[in-house]
Amino acid sequence: MSKEEQPSFEEALKKLETVVRKLEDDQVSLEESVNLFEEGTRLSAYCSSILEKAELRIEKVNAQNEE
Protein backbone atom coordinates (compact mmCIF):
# COMPACT_ATOMS: atom_id res chain seq x y z
CA MET A 1 0.00 0.00 0.00
CA SER A 2 1.56 3.24 -1.11
CA LYS A 3 1.49 6.33 1.07
CA GLU A 4 -1.32 7.99 -0.90
CA GLU A 5 -3.44 4.80 -0.66
CA GLN A 6 -3.24 4.70 3.14
CA PRO A 7 -6.32 5.94 4.95
CA SER A 8 -6.18 8.57 7.63
CA PHE A 9 -6.30 7.40 11.24
CA GLU A 10 -9.95 8.42 11.45
CA GLU A 11 -10.85 6.52 8.27
CA ALA A 12 -9.03 3.40 9.44
CA LEU A 13 -10.70 3.60 12.84
CA LYS A 14 -14.15 3.86 11.23
CA LYS A 15 -13.36 0.84 9.05
CA LEU A 16 -12.21 -1.06 12.14
CA GLU A 17 -15.43 -0.18 13.97
CA THR A 18 -17.42 -1.46 10.97
CA VAL A 19 -15.45 -4.71 10.99
CA VAL A 20 -16.13 -5.18 14.69
CA ARG A 21 -19.87 -4.60 14.21
CA LYS A 22 -19.93 -7.15 11.39
CA LEU A 23 -18.04 -9.68 13.51
CA GLU A 24 -20.63 -9.27 16.27
CA ASP A 25 -23.37 -10.35 13.84
CA ASP A 26 -24.09 -14.03 14.39
CA GLN A 27 -25.32 -14.34 10.79
CA VAL A 28 -21.80 -13.91 9.36
CA SER A 29 -20.29 -17.07 7.91
CA LEU A 30 -17.09 -18.56 9.26
CA GLU A 31 -15.18 -17.68 6.08
CA GLU A 32 -16.36 -14.07 6.19
CA SER A 33 -15.56 -13.91 9.91
CA VAL A 34 -12.00 -15.03 9.25
CA ASN A 35 -11.63 -12.47 6.46
CA LEU A 36 -13.04 -9.74 8.70
CA PHE A 37 -10.70 -10.78 11.50
CA GLU A 38 -7.71 -10.51 9.18
CA GLU A 39 -8.83 -7.08 7.97
CA GLY A 40 -9.46 -5.96 11.55
CA THR A 41 -6.03 -7.13 12.63
CA ARG A 42 -4.39 -5.14 9.82
CA LEU A 43 -6.43 -2.04 10.61
CA SER A 44 -5.67 -2.34 14.31
CA ALA A 45 -1.94 -2.61 13.65
CA TYR A 46 -2.12 0.38 11.29
CA CYS A 47 -3.96 2.52 13.87
CA SER A 48 -1.52 1.47 16.60
CA SER A 49 1.40 2.45 14.38
CA ILE A 50 -0.06 5.90 13.76
CA LEU A 51 -0.69 6.39 17.48
CA GLU A 52 2.86 5.34 18.35
CA LYS A 53 4.29 7.81 15.83
CA ALA A 54 2.09 10.58 17.23
CA GLU A 55 3.23 9.75 20.76
CA LEU A 56 6.88 9.93 19.71
CA ARG A 57 6.29 13.31 18.08
CA ILE A 58 4.61 14.61 21.24
CA GLU A 59 7.45 13.32 23.41
CA LYS A 60 9.97 15.02 21.11
CA VAL A 61 8.12 18.34 21.30
CA ASN A 62 7.86 18.07 25.09
CA ALA A 63 11.57 17.30 25.37
CA GLN A 64 12.43 20.33 23.22
CA ASN A 65 10.21 22.55 25.34
CA GLU A 66 11.97 21.38 28.51
CA GLU A 67 15.37 22.48 27.18
23-64 pLDDT, tens digit each:
999 999 999 999 999 999 999 999 999 999 999 999 999 999
Q: How many domains does the chain fold into?
A: 1
In a domain, 53, yes or no: yes
- What's the pLDDT at 20? 97
Q: Which CA distances in Å does 27 have to 18, 22, 31, 60, 65?
A: 15, 9, 12, 47, 53
- What's the pLDDT at 38? 98
Confidence of residue 2 (pLDDT cuts 50, 70, 90): low
What range does the domain containing 39 cover? 9-66
In a domain, 45, yes or no: yes
**Rounded to a whole number, what is the distance in angstroms from the first to the last CA of the chain?**
38
8-state DSSP, 8: P
Q: How many residues does the chain have?
A: 67
